[in-house]
Structures are given as C-alpha cells and as structure tokens.
Amino acid sequence: MLRLENVSKFYYNRGIIASGFTKVNLELRIGEFVAITGESGSGKSTLLNVISGLDSYEEGEMYIKGQETSHYSEKDFEDYRRKYIANIFQSFNLINSYTVYQNVELVLLLNGYKKHTIKDKILHIIEQVGLTKFKNTKVSKLSGGQKQRVAIARAMVKDTPIIVADEPTGNLDSESAKEVIEILKRVAKDKLVIVVTHNIEQFEQQATRIIKMHDGRIIQNTEIKEIKNEPEIEESEYSNMSIFNKYTLGIRNTFNIVSKFLLLFAVFFFMSSAILAEYASFQMSEEETVSSGYSSGFNDLSEKRILINKKDRSSFAKEDYEKIKSISNIDYIVEDDIFVDSMVPLSRNDLSLYGNMLDIDNFNGNLDVGRMPENDDEIILSVNKDNFYFKNRVDEILNKTFSILKSEGMNAYSSETVGEVTIVGIKTDENTNDYMEKFYVSKSMLKKLRSNINKNYSNIKIFLNNKYAQYRVEPNENVESGKAIVDDELKYQFKNYKIKDQPINIYISNIYYSEELNLSISNTYTKSNFRRLTGLDKYDNNRYTVFINTNDYNSLYDKPSYQSSVYIEDEKIIEETMLELENLGLNPKKVTDFKINQGEIYQRIIKIIKVVVTIVLIIVLFFISYLIIKIILKSRNIYFTTLRMLGATYKNVRRILDIELFINSTLSYVVLLLFIYLVKWNIINLEHIAKLSEFIKIKEYVLMYIILIVISRLISIKFAKKLFKNTAINTYNEEV
C-alpha cells in the first residue's frame, strides 16, 4: 500500500540545512495499526507529515499503490490527501465556532458531497464516537476527550484507506485516552492507521507494528502482528466542491464569529465612506467653481431660473401667464424679467438701497414689521436677516419716502429721479443676498420704471440722408408729434442745404424687442434760436442732439413685457419643464447657459486632482484594508489551513474567502447607503453629510460598489496566495 525507499527530509533556514529524517525505508499495508515513537526531535512527526502529504521530501521515493510521488506538485498532493489520507491532529484542529455536526460535515462539503445526501452518514459516525447528544453543541464547549472524538469522527467520515494521528492522546487524561485508542482500534480493521506517540505503552496492545525513531532514523521496526490478508484498497470518493457548498461555508463563516464580522464590517464601511466622502468633496468644489461664474447681462444666475419669450416675438398677455402657471414645476413667474437683472437705486439723505424691483404679486410670507402696501407708490423691502447694515436702521427706513434714481446703464445712476416710493413693510429673509435687496412694488410702478430701464438697455440709430448715424435723442414738449428738430450743422449733409421736411428714422433695439419711429424734420436749431425752439438754456451741451415729441419718445420705450422669467421648484427636472414651456409656444432658455465660467482653469485642475487623489486613495485604502483584514483573518489561519489539510484546494479557499468578504462588503455598503438616505431625508440631522450626498449620483454609488467588490476580491486573492505559498504543514506552523 505505502512504501518509502531511502526517503529524506531536509529543512532550509537562512542558509542552514537541518535534517528532519534521513534514509527512511518502510513498507506499510492496509489493516495495520502502526505506532511510531521516539523522543522529541527524533523526526517522527515529520515522517508522519510526509506520509500524509502535508509536507514534501527531498530524497528517495515514496510509493502509493506502487506509484511514485517524488514528481508530485502541490495539486497532486491535494488529490493524494483527498483520496487516501484522513488526519487526526494533536491540537484537534477543529473549528471551535462550529457545532460537532458542522465539524464532521465540513470535510464532506470540501470534498464535493451534496449537503442533503450526507446527513445520515454524519449522524451515524457521530453515534459511533459516542457524541450524539452533543451533535448541536459548539466544539468550544467540549472537553479535550470529546474534541478528540470529534476529530476522529471527522477522519472516519472521510472514509480514506489511511488515517494518520499525531499524538492523538497527548492532551488527554488516561480515561479519555483509553476511549480514543479503542475507537482507533475499531477503525484499523480495514484501514492503515499510523499513530505518532510519546507514550508507546498506551498502544502496545493494539499496535500491529511499532516503529522507534532516533535522530531522524528508524532504529526499530517491529512487526507484532502479521497482516496475512490485506484488505482491498478503496480510495475515498470525492468531486469538485460545488458552488452551493462554497456559499454554505462562506455564509457560515461570515457570521460564525461576531467580533470578526463586526471588525470586517467596520473596515469596509470606513473604506467606502472615505472614498465617497473624498469624491463628493471634490465634486462639490468642482460644481461650486462652475457655479461661481458670471454674466455681463444677468445678475441672477440661479439654476432654478428659466428665461422665456414667445416664438412669434410678441408680448405676453394675461392668458399666457395663466397657462404657464398651470405647469406643475413652476414656483412663480416674474413678468417683468428686466427688473431681475437691473439694480434699482433708492436714495434718502445718506441712506441708499440697491435691489431688484419685483411685482407685489410675487411676495409671499409674513412681514416682520410694517404693513402691506395700499397705494401704488408704497412698497415692501426684503433684506437678509443677517445684514448688519440694516439691523439698527429700521426706524430710518420704515414709513420713509425714497427717491428712485434714474439709471444710466448697468450699475451707473444719475442724480435725476424717476419717481418716489414709501417703504411701508420690511421682511427679513435668510435666502436674500447680503448685498442686494428686493423691492416689491405695484404693477403701475413697474410700468413706469420699465421705460427707463428699456432705454438703458437699448441701442439707438438714426437713419438720415440714406445713412446711419448715432446722435443723442431727447424728448421735448415743444416739438410737434411726428416731427424732429435737429442741429443746423446737419444741413451740410444735404444737397443745396435743404434739410427741412427731410425724413428721419429712429431705430432702437435691445434683447427684448426692436422699434422704428418715422419722423420728418420740422426745423433746425442754432445758438440764437435754441432756447426759443426747445425751451432749454444750454446750447453747447446739446449739440447734434435730435429733439422729438415727448409722447413719440416714450412710445419707443413704453412697452409691455416681451421676456419673463419663471422660477421652478425642482431644478433636477428642468429639462422636462422646458419641454412643457416649448409646447406652449415659448422659447425657454436656462439662464445658466449665459454664464461665463471664470474658474474654468480651476475646474480642470480640480478634475485632474480629483481623479489622481481618488486613485491614490483607493490604492492606499486597499493596502491599509489588506493589512487590517490580514490581521483579522490571521486569527483564522488555522481554520483556512485546516480546510487545506482536509482537502480544500486553492480555488476552494479563495472562493470561500471571496464569498465571506463579498457579504461583509455588501452589507457594510447597504448600511452606508441606508445611513446616507436617513441623513438625506433629515431623519438623522448631519448637515455636512447631507450636503455632500447631493453631489453623488447613482452612477457614482454603483461605481463605488464595484470598486469595493474588486478590492475585496483582490484582498481575497492576496490572502489565499499567502496561504498556499508553502506546504500545508509549514503554512500551519507559521504566521500568515
């Protein structure tokens, strides 16, 4: 059955060669009960490890059923152990967190048996070793003798032709030792049982052969009882471990030790939350850089603002606004869009206010002080609650009359007033910009101010004598409607200096509309007749000015609203809202489309840094996590090497590890997502985390999960390779 010819085992350690045993010649047969004895260091355990395929040998030849094994690879030895060898260890090598049943079941699961077909066999073996009433008891609660019986049951259930036992009674009292020896004697009838022992007296009555070793050599090989009829050798049946068995062990191992599960859970939870937090922080910086842009034409660049005008370029009517309000995502409408982007100054003594004029219909909420307007010239002021400038000046503002200064372009104003208003109510608002107030005024006041703003946003051209020129145009009550008075110097542009009754066309255009006014020249002014024709004194200040009738002038700028702004409730569905606006015959544009990103270069830098830092962080966290998980799994070294000794291949061990780490990482990630959800919905109040979560999209969550699974898989591969780097017994004896 088993034959060794001049077999030697050597150990290499830092250039020093040590002998385990030398030139061993031995032939053993089925049915024998072989006891190997000798003092410590004699080589008996090393010989047993070589016979059982847990360790390699360097010289000679070992034959199994007449076949050489010197050429065996680790894979060949795995097959050898699965077919022929069952081990009983001095330190039991049981899984303490498993029950008696699960420990015996383990060896069959590793060797490809289906879980539902082996129950009766396991119970029968447990009964044979007298542990039926302990079948559902965890091994950690058993005595030493009971643990050794579990180890024997595990060896018996594998049903291999060879059972090797290393000091099976070494840690037992005399009574327990006697019971174990009796069980081994029964097993030895049709198997080859090889026992290493210090106490040969315990085995003298049962042994058929006693081998004594000294200094790595056999000095005695006494056959006490001859085996005449050697039973036929039956190899243990095994097949590839099924995926179901791998998942059974993987799931069992995930939760069998609570402290280990919680530590692994914490590692994966920290890893995924750290990567997501880092990514979200960079994403927030990137988007804040994008949102920090500016526009020369728009002050309010809110992501909730949509500019609208009609496709036919006509003005808005009341019915148009009613249709727009019917769209579900619309929060409110600013009909006079021009006021959103125009700063209107109010002045009184040494106090000046700057802000947007908004329709009183858009005001909502409650006043902090004062009352609602009752007259067209009464308004409400909305100001940030933290604005220090106004905190102690309420008495100077409330119920006081302010002059509206005439605008001369964006952020430029004259001392001329275009009207007066009285602030009768004040509302403080935490969402209002510190430096820009809001004035809620009547529709008639908005209409009055609109002309002044239209003027400052308009380009004006004059078509005279078949060519365009840019002259000042001013209103004058002395000019007849449909007529114009021009500088006498302009007559030199005409043949024979005949300028009177010549046509003059005035064109204005702005982003909202264009207008044309067709007039004729009724007279020309000189220094001598300037005051008579215009009623004005300063001739030199008005050279080349075209004076037209006041009503004609106002007709150029006194226009209805051609463009409005709608503010939506949810910017995430802005595209859907814009489509609904298009279906109403409108041209919608996001105001952010007109934004100039002044931080574009910084945005690119942030993107590059984000990618680099994320990759570096993932790599660093991988190695940190591996070291931590390695320490955690280090306590499982004996478990995994025991699996290997019982027949698990590298792929089996790696897959069981894969499943265990996959479950841990997945559960930790699910809990993290649940935590983020609770924070996002303000069930858990963590403002900073809630803000960060806004910058993580579904695809990032999916990508993070993939990264987590890949990391857990790499850790599994790296750890499994470490387990199989050396022979089974050397791996068992050293720290992983």
The residue among 290 and 321 whose pLDDT is bigger is: 321
Q: Distance of CA 55 to CAs 45, 48, 84, 727, Å?
A: 11, 9, 15, 6
Task: Find tokens 């995930």 and name the residue.
Answer: 254
Asked if pLDDT for residue 599 goes beyond 70, the answer is no
Asked if pLDDT for residue 602 goes beyond 70, the answer is no
Two structure tokens written together for 89: 């260890």
Two structure tokens written together for 472: 């000042």
pLDDT of residue 635: 66
Task: Find tokens 């890893």 and name the residue.
Answer: 271
* 3-class secondary structure, 2: strand
Measured from the Cβ of residue 186, the count of other Cβ atoms closer than 10 Å reads 11
pLDDT band of 736, cuts 50, 70, 90 = very low
The residue among 71 and 450 whose pLDDT is bigger is: 71
* Residue-wise pLDDT tens digits, 452-483: 878 877 899 999 998 998 889 999 999 999 99
- Cβ pair 224, 231 in contact under 8 A: no
Percent of the chain with pLDDT over 90: 39
Q: List the one residue out of 268, 97, 205, 172 whose CA is nearest residue 629.
A: 268
Q: Distance of CA 313 to CAs 335, 514, 612, Å?
A: 15, 10, 50
Asked if pLDDT for residue 293 goes beyond 80, the answer is no
The single-letter DSSP state of residue 448 is H
Lowest mean pLDDT among 426-435, 542-551, 553-562: 426-435
- Cβ pair 629, 267 in contact under 8 A: yes
The sign of the CA dihedral 386, 392, 397, 398 is: positive
- Cβ pair 306, 337 in contact under 8 A: no
Mean pLDDT of 338-344: 80
- Cβ pair 344, 402 in contact under 8 A: no
Measured from the Cβ of residue 48, the count of other Cβ atoms closer than 10 Å reads 22
pLDDT band of 735, cuts 50, 70, 90 = very low
Two structure tokens written together for 222: 């006494």
* 3-class secondary structure, 208: coil
What is the rounded distance in angstroms from the CA atom of residue 560 to the CA atom of residue 105?
87
Q: How does strand 305-310 pair with strand 564-568?
A: antiparallel
Q: How does strand 413-428 pair with strand 378-383?
A: parallel
Asked if pLDDT for residue 434 goes beyond 50, the answer is no
Percent of the chain with pLDDT over 70: 94
Core vs surface per residue 142-168: b (16+ CB within 10 A) or e: bebbbbbbbbbbbbbbbbbbbbbbbbb
* Residue-wise pLDDT tens digits, 88-103: 887 888 888 899 999 9
What is the rounded distance in angstroms from the CA atom of residue 556 to the CA atom of residue 547?
14
Core vs surface per residue 494-519: b (16+ CB within 10 A) or e: eeeeebeebebebbbebebbebebeb
Asked if pLDDT for residue 21 goes beyond 70, the answer is yes
Lowest mean pLDDT among 15-19, 271-275, 398-402, 587-591: 15-19
* Residue-wise pLDDT tens digits, 622-679: 888 888 877 877 667 778 888 888 888 888 889 999 999 999 999 999 999 999 999 9
What is the rounded distance in angstroms from the CA atom of residue 63 to the CA atom of residue 26?
10
Q: Is 448 left (phi over 0), alpha (psi -120 to 50) or beta?
A: alpha
pLDDT of residue 535: 92
Task: Find tokens 């306590």 and name the residue.
Answer: 635
pLDDT of residue 528: 92
For the whole prediction, is pTM greater than 0.85? no
* 3-class secondary structure, 228: coil
Mean pLDDT of 249-258: 89
pLDDT of residue 583: 93
Two structure tokens written together for 71: 């050429």
Core vs surface per residue 238-256: b (16+ CB within 10 A) or e: beebeeebbebbbebbbeb
pLDDT of residue 176: 82
What is the rounded distance in angstroms from the CA atom of residue 732 to the CA atom of residue 736?
9
List, by residue range, all CATH 3.40.50.300 domains of the chain. Answer: 2-239
555 by Cβ neighbours in 10 Å (0-12 / 13-18 / 19+) ranks as: middle
Mean pLDDT of 486-497: 91
Q: Across the chain, what does the average pLDDT equal?
A: 86
* Residue-wise pLDDT tens digits, 106-165: 999 988 888 889 999 999 989 988 899 999 999 999 998 899 889 989 988 888 899 999
**SS3 string of 310-321?**
ECCCCCCCHHHH
pLDDT band of 734, cuts 50, 70, 90 = low
Asked if pLDDT for residue 584 goes beyond 90, the answer is yes
Two structure tokens written together for 310: 């009609």
For domain 2-239, the CATH architecture is 3-Layer(aba) Sandwich (3.40)
Q: Hey, which residues does 404 pair with through a beta bridge?
A: 346, 419
pLDDT of residue 628: 83
pLDDT of residue 601: 63
Q: List the one residue out of 296, 303, 304 whose CA is nearest residue 341.
A: 296
* 3-class secondary structure, 237: coil
* Residue-wise pLDDT tens digits, 391-413: 778 888 999 999 988 765 545 55
What is the rounded distance in angstroms from the CA atom of residue 630 to the CA atom of residue 716?
10
* Residue-wise pLDDT tens digits, 23-56: 999 999 888 899 999 998 899 999 999 999 988 8
What is the enclosing helix (H) or strand (E) of 553? helix 550-557
Asked if pLDDT for residue 558 goes beyond 80, the answer is yes
